[in-house]
Amino acid sequence: MSKWLGWITLLMVLLSAWLWGQETGQTSGPWVMERSGTTAGLRGIHAVGGGVAWASGTNGTVLRTEDGGYEWQSCAMPPGAEKLDFRGIWAWDANTAIVMSSGPGDASRLYKTTDGCSHWTLLFTNPDKDGFWDVLQMTGDKTGLVIGDPVPGRRYFWKFSIRQYPSYFPILGTWDRGTTWRPLDTRSVWAAMSKDHVASESIFAASNSSLLELHSPFAWLFVTGGDKNFLHIIQSLGATPMICKKSCYLSSETAPTLASGPTAGGFSIGANLAESGIPVVVAVGGDYKLPDSSAGSAATCVGSMDGIFLKYRCEAATRPPHGYRSAVAWDAAAKAWIAAGTNGSDISYDDGKTWAPLDNGNWNALSLPWMVGPNGRIAKLDAGKLPHPSKN
């Protein structure tokens, strides 16, 4: 009888480990697994600092840790979010955070908590039935942006015929810590069009890291994918960059060094914002349906000024990551770039020109020192296990 009890106990332990995510303490390269308490697919992760981090994913899942990942708390579910996929999250501290769901039409929403995720307030619901939100970034303590896939431009009459403006990227802005959101004037942020007048580029909602802000000069950059992919630059030329009407200038630098196609392109960009001068931007991507293909999976983009306008020129990595990558981040302590995707992670010590593999795990998003993936996977970087730069 005791033998059977032993086997039953073992099975219960294994089942519990499966139900509560990966077992704590296991490693995947330099990544140490943490118990998430969920089997949801995780794509949102934001490290606040001081041991505080937030994560989000499918089925209305939001997680929080206050102790450096020793314990992840399952938050109260935002109202009406049972079927929502929270692909982006941003937090200021252990109490205050905004979460973004991605989905068609009104399945794209923004919620906010100010009491440590015990209660949530619905802030804004996508009013465009053709819309799909992809990325949420707070660009300052009080300002922030949401960008979605291209939507058809408005129709108008011209010489007794009905015509339509090209598709454009909808952008929402906030100036009060996310309490209020409103569409910005983005009529000049057009998407590339196919011959049959359909948008041929989009943004991938894979890791909430396709958008970043530069401060000198002030500009927003976002990377796209599809049959055509670009590094878009929205530059402020006036005193009110958040409104972005006539005071902004849009330029697009093509990034042919990244893979192209319906399921390919740029998925994530990052910059070492501590650098003096114009920072180097590293872009990663590939084709998510070909996870083991390294073709077009990384590029290094060098910036310059053409008069008062910011320009970037991109070149493919000479030794790319060992597969499709959905997230990239700068590790200031290691002075290195780390990229992650569904077949593993890689590191680069030379601004994305050459990459070396770190592990072969299944990952979606990064906010160092944490990384998240499907089935509740959360891991924390053990910096002491990173390879030496000379071995890269």
Counted domains in the chain: 1
Given a contact cutoff of 8 angstroms between Cβ atoms, the answer to whether 17 and 23 are in contact is yes
Query: Of the candidates 196, 187, 242, 188, which has an alpha carbon nearest to the alpha carbon of residue 220?
Result: 242
Q: 3-class DSSP state for residue 364?
A: coil
Q: Which residues pair with 338 in a beta bridge?
A: 329, 347
Identify residue 342 by its one-letter amino acid code. Answer: T
Q: Which residues pair with 16 in a beta bridge?
A: none
The reply to whether 282 falls in a domain is yes
Identify residue 194 by its one-letter amino acid code. Answer: S
Q: Taking the model in full, what pTM does it have?
A: 0.88
The reply to whether 5 falls in a domain is no
pLDDT for res 194: 62
Residue ranges for the chain with pLDDT beneath 70: 1-24, 154-165, 185-188, 192-199, 236-256, 391-392
The CATH number of the domain holding residue 169 is 2.130.10.10
The reply to whether 1 falls in a domain is no
Which residue do the tokens 């990377």 mark? 223
The reply to whether 12 falls in a domain is no
Q: 3-class DSSP state for residue 270?
A: strand
Query: Of the candidates 298, 375, 376, which has an alpha carbon nearest to the alpha carbon of residue 340?
Result: 298
pLDDT for res 103: 97
Q: 3-class DSSP state for residue 26?
A: coil
The reply to whether 382 falls in a domain is yes
**Backbone φ and ψ of 281, nearest 5°:** -110, 130
Q: Which two tokens stand for residue 276?
A: 């003096």
Chain-centre distance for alpha carbon 379: 17
* CA gap 215, 240 in Å, rounded: 14
pLDDT for res 263: 94
pLDDT for res 183: 83
The reply to whether 318 falls in a domain is yes
* CA gap 338, 388 in Å, rounded: 14
Q: In terms of residue numbers, what domain contains 355?
A: 26-391
Q: 3-class DSSP state for residue 61?
A: coil
Given a contact cutoff of 8 angstroms between Cβ atoms, the answer to whether 325 and 267 are in contact is yes
64-77 residue pLDDT tens: 999 999 999 999 99
The reply to whether 288 falls in a domain is yes
**How many alpha carbons fall within 13 Å on the CB side of residue 273?**
14
Given a contact cutoff of 8 angstroms between Cβ atoms, the answer to whether 34 and 45 are in contact is no
The reply to whether 20 falls in a domain is no
* Sequence-ordered list of residues with C-beta below 8 angstroms from that of 315, at least 6 positions apart, any chain: 257, 299, 300, 301, 302
346-378 residue pLDDT tens: 999 999 999 999 999 999 999 999 999 999 999
65's enclosing H/E stretch is strand 62-65
Q: 3-class DSSP state for residue 196?
A: coil
